[in-house]
Structure 1
Amino acid sequence: MDNEINEVKLGDLEYRVLQLLKENSRMPVSEIAKELKVSRPTVSRIITSLQEKGIKFTIEYNEGVTAFVVTSKCPQDAECFELIDGNIMAVIHARDLNELEEELKKIKDEKKYLFLSHKKVGKVSVSVELRCDYCGGAIKGSPLILKKGRKTYYACCKVCLDGLKNKLK
């Protein structure tokens, strides 16, 4: 896994565009421009800039089978979350059980727990408030962004950003 750390700084307008896209990733450029009182070409340049910085603002929808695997390392191409006990929760999406079986075979580490799901139930809600990945506080204004490998971390201030850098070494 790539251990390179990239810090991404967002301008105020970039941050505001990103916030609107987080609320509705399909919002037309013309609507964003109207909301922010800027021209459509300006919004287009900002979106291109965000994409070039590696920032994603799409909704990925995947029907099929989802596996939640608790293991010690993040498998390649999996969405991973670090658990409080230090283990990793990997979320693996597949179209069917055969594809899922192939993906699970790629995980070389011990699979401590494995949960399967075939559909979402209940209401799905999305929070648009960013929280600092170091202190957990709400981020007011523009976040400081730190990229390490395929992961993006958000910090509320320079102190937390430095703490994240040290923690991720």
Structure 2
Amino acid sequence: MARRVTAARCSFEATMEYRPRTYQHLAGITAYYNTRNWYYLYVTADDHGQAVLRAASCDQGVLSVDEAGQEPLGAITRLRLGLDIDGADLRFRYDLGRGWRPFGPPLDATVLSDEHAEHIEDGRIRSLGFTGAFVGQWAWDLTGGSHHADFDEAKYHTLP
């Protein structure tokens, strides 16, 4: 579930409970333009089956996952995830019950723009950018087994 970004300065937060069983189970929040341009802060399982918080991005179809920057979650299954957009900057944050902490470096929010999404190859337009950016919740079971996440609440705020 997602909603349109309506301001250059805004925040999005969601509370979720999730127990991934494999690295193919992912759930979290996203700042999303289309299938080729997005950011994702998510909970998954590492190679040992332990829950971790990670971030991934897709910029013009090129996927990047920062496994070195992951945060081990131990037995924690309930957490809050947030993101803040301030003009061209996007920042993720998380709360494991002890207050908000930043996650990862500032990201380029212009990846989520109509202008960035337009794809021109050999002087020909291959895809247009026109949807605008969204923020929302994202649960992804790559096994096809319908492993679900429970989201309790989600809040979107525009900022002055």
Greater gyration radius: 1
* TM-score, length of structure 2 as denominator length: 0.27
* TM-score, length of structure 1 as denominator length: 0.26
**Bigger relative contact order (CA 8 A; separation at least 6):** 2
